[in-house]
Amino acid sequence: MEGGIKTLRSLAFVVFLLLLAVSCSKQKEHTAPAIYDRDSVAMMTSYGVNTLISDSGVIKYRIVAERWEVNQKRNPSRWIFEKGVFLEQFDENFHVQSYIQCDTANYYDQKRIWELRGRVRILTKEGLRFNSDQLYWDEAKHELYSNTWSKLVTPERTLEGRYFRSNEKMTRYYVSNTSGSFERGDLTGEDKDENKKDTSRTITRQQAMPQRAASQR
């Protein structure tokens, strides 16, 4: 009889240990708090944006965007316009210098570089039109550049190429691997139409010299 009681006690003790182990294991599942990755959480998100941006007290451009996210957690920190952006660029007298729009954009505020992507379009006050799928705007160096196919249309000529570089006012530009109706330009700011006229006048003088010599004979 005593042996049976001892066996029952032993079984009861084993069952108690098993229940204790299960209870502890369940508690461990709920002791660790939830961990959330906040590395990409935006500091500010605005919708329906229409605002002016200034630098050192000078208004530089107007931003119109459906969604504007300011994220200081990413490396590098940036402004994100995932639903597109429209920019009006102003000169020092607050006159509109150009219009810029694209499908998505990132502005790296510490580097002061705009990265524009998807149907990038520019129209300047001189009537120059620029089309590309990617464009970088370096505010510190005051220049624009693209490493993808780009098209530049002015009232005088059309240029197309795989590399584009320009000052931010789009008055001096360079396009390489080009095709189209143009005379190849660079960053010297020279008017190619004036160069063409000067060349024509030079040729005329060269042809006139032997004619005058013949009339003297």
> What is residue 103's predicted lDDT score, i.e. its pLDDT?
97
pTM of the predicted structure, to 2 decimals: 0.64
Say whether pLDDT at 81 is over 60: yes
Model pLDDT for residues 89-98, shown as the tens digit of each residue: 998 888 899 9
Residue type, 187: L
Q: Where are the domains of the chain?
A: 44-195
Say whether pLDDT at 210 is over 70: no
**pLDDT average, residue stretch 140-165:** 93
- Give helix then strand counts, H and E, for the chain: 2, 13
CATH number given to 44-195: 2.60.450.10
**pLDDT average, residue stretch 145-149:** 95
What is the band of 52 on the pLDDT scale with cuts at 50, 70, 90? Answer: very high
Residues sharing a CB contact under 8 Å with residue 24, sequence separation 6 or more, in sequence order: none
